Amino acid sequence: MTAVRADAHVHDVVGVGIGPFNLGLAALAAPLDLDTVFLDRAAEFRWHPGMMLDGATIQVPFLADLVTMADPTSPYSFLSWLKHTGRLYPFYIRESFYPLRAEYDAYCRWVAQQLASLRWGRTVTAVEVDPHDDDLYVVHARTADGVESYRTRHVVLGVGTQPVVPAALRGLDGPVVHSSQYLPHRDRLRAAGSVTVVGSGQSAAEVYRDLLDATGPGGPRLDWVTRSPRFFPMEYTKLTLEMTSPEYTDHFHSLPTALRDRLSREQRTLYKGISASLVDDIYDTLYRMSAAGPVPTTLLTDTEVRGAVWDGERYTLRLRHAQLGVEHERTTEALVLATGYAAQVPDVVAGIADRLDHDEHGRLAVARDYSVDGGRRRVFVQNGEEHTHGVTAPDLGFGAWRSSTILAAVCGREVYPREQRIAFQDFGVPAGTPPPSGTVGAGAAVAAALAGGAAR
């Protein structure tokens, strides 16, 4: 790696990746007396371009923008963008909390264009301990012209999540695409004789709905296959939404790893389902189309894709129905894998791995303040902590709270006030509640919960 000079400039924060979360951090840091730089390998901000479907909305209210939940007076708010673009009154008349996905993307780009701390076309390749100062880090980034190296007191990893392809479907030839790349392949998929969408979440439903418009006489046969026992809706009731809160995150973070992992699996309906309006739109569309005759589509639940073979013209999918334990086959000419995303320990931190905390599964053991470096509080993650913090990790509505927490650690003081309690419900035993006399304490109760029983 390029050696850095001992007298080279030192930044307060270097952010790796400029998705919504580090963009929010950059916007909240802008008015502060901080020297920050944010690096991204992309040429400019583009939010999930492969899924920028016409009419799609974000799944959280507009207040879940980059800054408002931390600072409602920030000039980088979604409302400021609406005012700036002359869209405030139309948005007001539209009376929907949920901006279009395209609006959210344009809003983020508008904010990005105002922030001098952003550097695009920088692929971060490594983070290292500064050879001249053990408390500093050096972030190396490849550019079109060579390598740049940034010395910094703090590093914030905001590299997002990576598309997941199930093992049985990796390395396939032929027209197979992950939903993250749907739009560039849309026309080819619509021209295929048959397409199969694999997956059960919002992206799967959006792709299925989009392809349904092309189905019918002369259009592709369309199948939708999911391992889930049903096409479940995203749970959006208000007491459940209270789990997107600082205090539920405290509770979740305090639990043992195995219990957190089990809860994460159980809480999939909270954010890995399909918006109820889209489920109904799909049903109503099928109903309308069936008035003209059979709709060339098959929807299969509780069905796992165990393998696929491409013969140069079509795939033969090996499927297994979980409840029946029956294997069967289907053929299809194209595949869309809407099989989700997952956080990974970014390769770029391999050089400082010995300073980072890991759990027994090799994942980053993220502290409650989002730091990962053994209490030094100099290396932080954004949206890489679902396994330690739960449902708030990927939620746009919680980004500003997390950024405020990281900025408080960087500045050594509370720069944006953070709510510690927002819910009406308690998620653990209410604070100050003494254990009933003669019974075991909370610790033993959790152990019993893990063992699936109750403390006696």
Ligand X SMILES: Cc1cc2nc3c(=O)[nH]c(=O)nc-3n(C[C@H](O)[C@H](O)[C@H](O)COP(=O)(O)OP(=O)(O)OC[C@H]3O[C@@H](n4cnc5c(N)ncnc54)[C@H](O)[C@@H]3O)c2cc1C
- Site of interaction with ligand X (CB under 6 A): 16-22, 39-42, 48, 51, 58-60, 122-124, 158-161, 203, 341, 348, 382-383, 394-396
Nearer to ligand X, 47 or 315 (CB): 47
Rounded distance between C-alpha atoms, residue 440 and residue 100, angstroms: 52
Please report how close the Cβ of residue 309 comes to ligand X at its closest, in angstroms. Answer: 29
Nearer to ligand X, 65 or 223 (CB): 65
Please report how close the Cβ of residue 238 comes to ligand X at its closest, in angstroms. Answer: 17
Please report how close the Cβ of residue 384 comes to ligand X at its closest, in angstroms. Answer: 8
Would you tell me how many other CB atoms lie within 10 Å of the CB of residue 173? 10
Please report how close the Cβ of residue 120 comes to ligand X at its closest, in angstroms. Answer: 9
Nearer to ligand X, 118 or 300 (CB): 118
Nearer to ligand X, 39 or 177 (CB): 39
Whether the Cβ atoms of residue 393 and residue 368 lie closer than 8 Å to each other: no
Please report how close the Cβ of residue 188 comes to ligand X at its closest, in angstroms. Answer: 20
Please report how close the Cβ of residue 435 comes to ligand X at its closest, in angstroms. Answer: 38
Please report how close the Cβ of residue 203 comes to ligand X at its closest, in angstroms. Answer: 6
Nearer to ligand X, 20 or 390 (CB): 20
Please report how close the Cβ of residue 324 comes to ligand X at its closest, in angstroms. Answer: 32
Please report how close the Cβ of residue 45 comes to ligand X at its closest, in angstroms. Answer: 7
Long-range contacts of 238-243 (CB under 8 A, 24+ apart): 239/424, 239/425, 240/270, 242/422, 242/423, 242/424, 242/425, 243/267, 243/270, 243/390, 243/391, 243/427
3-class state of residue 372 by DSSP: coil
**C-alpha torsion sign, points 344, 347, 349, 353:** positive
Nearer to ligand X, 210 or 333 (CB): 210
Nearer to ligand X, 295 or 391 (CB): 391
Whether the Cβ atoms of residue 233 and residue 274 lie closer than 8 Å to each other: yes
Instruction: Give the CA radius of gyration of the chain.
Output: 24
* Single-letter code of the amino acid located at 7: D
Whether the Cβ atoms of residue 411 and residue 237 lie closer than 8 Å to each other: no
Residue 361's alpha-carbon distances to 357, 364, 387, in angstroms, are 11, 9, 11
| Phi, psi angles (nearest 5°) of residue 425 | -95, 160
Rounded distance between C-alpha atoms, residue 414 and residue 407, angstroms: 8
Exposed/middle/buried for 354, CB within 10 Å: 0-12, 13-18, 19+?
A: exposed
3-class state of residue 380 by DSSP: strand
Neighbouring residues of 357: CB distance < 8 A, sequence distance ≥ 6: 364, 365, 366, 367, 372, 373, 374
Rounded distance between C-alpha atoms, residue 288 and residue 306, angstroms: 33
Nearer to ligand X, 228 or 392 (CB): 392
Rounded distance between C-alpha atoms, residue 336 and residue 200, angstroms: 12
Please report how close the Cβ of residue 323 comes to ligand X at its closest, in angstroms. Answer: 30
Would you tell me how many other CB atoms lie within 10 Å of the CB of residue 17? 22
Nearer to ligand X, 108 or 136 (CB): 108
Nearer to ligand X, 149 or 254 (CB): 149
